[in-house]
Amino acid sequence: MNPPRDELGAHVSAQGGAPNAPARAAEIGSAVFQLFTKQPNRWAEPELSAATGEAFRAAREEFGIRAVASHDSYLINLASPDAALWERSLDCFMGELTRCEVLGAEFLVTHPGNATDGHLDAGIARNALGVTRALEQVPGETRVLLEITAGSGTSIGATFENLAAILDGMPPTVRARVGVCFDTCHAYAAGYDLVQDYEGVWDAFDRILGFHRLGLFHLNDSRHPLGSRKDRHAGIGEGTLGETPFRRLMQDPRFVAVPKVLETPKGDDGVTADRENLARLRSYRRSA
C-alpha cells in the first residue's frame, strides 16, 4: 500500500542533475522535497539552462510534486564583516536564487550566517542587506526562508528576535518574499523547549514573528540536550526531543498545510531511512 501524498518529504539527492530529484522524492512516497542545486561546500556556480528548468518542471508534474525547497551553500556568510567574503557570499546567494527561479522552486532556505567580529547587531544588518540586494537583483516567486540556527559560536538566527530583526532590516517590498524555516533540532539546541513548553514556544513564535512567516519545517530530532547549542541531528523519536513534540506537531491544526522535510541521518540506505522516519511521523497523526 502506498503512503499518503501529504505535506511530508525529505532532502533528496540531485545527483545526475536536478530533474532526477522528483523521482527520488516519489520513491520515498513524498510530494515535497528539498535539494541542493550545487555542491554545498564549493564556491563554483553552475548555471542551469532553460531546458534543465523545463525538464525539472516536467518531472515535478509527472511525479506529483507539490512543493520544492532548495538549501543554499554552506559557504555563504551574509553576516560576515569581511567585505570580500560578504561580496562573494552575495554573488553565491544570487546564484542560488537564480537557480531556484529556473527550477520554479517555492523556497530557498538559508542560514543567517556568522558575525565573526562578535557584533551581533552588525551581523544582522549585513544579512538583511545581503538578502535585500539579492531579491532586488533576482525578481521572481521563490521565497527566501531564514532558518533558525542552533546558536553555536558567532552564528546569528538562534532566536526569534534575531530573525525578526533581520526581517525588520528589509524594505517592505522585499520582506514580503522572506519567511522562516523552523528546524526542530536547531530550535531545541538553541533553548526552545518543544518538549516541556510546546505551546510557550509557539506563542512566542507567533508574537515575535507571526505564523504567516512560517514557510517550512525541517523535522529532525537532536542528539544533544536542550540548550546545547550543538547542531547534531537524529532520527525522529530517537534523540533528546523524543516522540512527544513530533506527535504534537503532526496533530497541530495550525501546521497541517506547512511543508515538512526530513534532514535526518540516512545511514547506508537512505531510501529505507527516509521511509521509516516518514512512516513514524505519519503514525503520529493517530492519537496515542
- Look at residue 119 in the predicted model and tell me its pLDDT: 96
d(CA 158, CA 28): 31
d(CA 92, CA 273): 32
Q: Which regions in the chain score pLDDT beneath 50?
A: 1
- Look at residue 3 in the predicted model and tell me its pLDDT: 58
CB < 8 Å & 24+ apart, contacts of 114-121: 114/77, 114/79, 114/80, 114/153, 114/154, 114/155, 114/156, 115/79, 115/80, 115/81, 115/154, 115/156, 116/77, 116/80, 116/81, 116/82, 116/154, 117/81, 117/154, 118/154, 119/81, 120/156, 120/162, 121/165
- Look at residue 172 in the predicted model and tell me its pLDDT: 95
Beta bridge partners of 234: 221
Indicate the domain borders of the chain.
8-283
Q: What are phi and psi of 96, to 5 degrees?
A: -60, -45
- Beta-carbon contacts of 224 under 8 Å, excluding residues fewer than 6 positions away, are 189, 230, 232, 240
d(CA 138, CA 98): 6
Q: Give the count of alpha carbons within 13 A of 191, CB side only.
A: 7
Q: Give the count of alpha carbons within 13 A of 215, CB side only.
A: 25
- Look at residue 1 in the predicted model and tell me its pLDDT: 46
Q: What is the pTM of this model?
A: 0.97
d(CA 75, CA 68): 22
- Secondary structure letter of residue 208 according to DSSP: H
- Beta-carbon contacts of 141 under 8 Å, excluding residues fewer than 6 positions away, are 101, 104, 106
**Three cell numbers, residue 285:** 497523526
* Local structure of 67: helix, strand or coil: strand
Burial of residue 122, with CB atoms counted within 10 A of its CB: 0-12 exposed, 13-18 middle, 19 or more buried:
middle
d(CA 112, CA 133): 15
Superfamily holding 8-283: Divalent-metal-dependent TIM barrel enzymes (3.20.20.150)
Radius of gyration of the chain (CA): 18
- Look at residue 286 in the predicted model and tell me its pLDDT: 81
* Local structure of 279: helix, strand or coil: helix
Quick: pLDDT tens for 168-222: 999 999 999 999 999 999 999 999 999 999 999 999 999 999 999 999 999 999 9
Q: What are phi and psi of 156, to 5 degrees?
A: -105, 165
**Kind and range of the H or E run holding 154:** none
- Look at residue 105 in the predicted model and tell me its pLDDT: 98
d(CA 20, CA 12): 10
- Look at residue 4 in the predicted model and tell me its pLDDT: 62
Q: Evaluate whether 89 touches 130 at the Cβ level (below 8 Å).
A: yes
From 267, 277, 274, select the one nearest 238 (Cα to Cα): 277
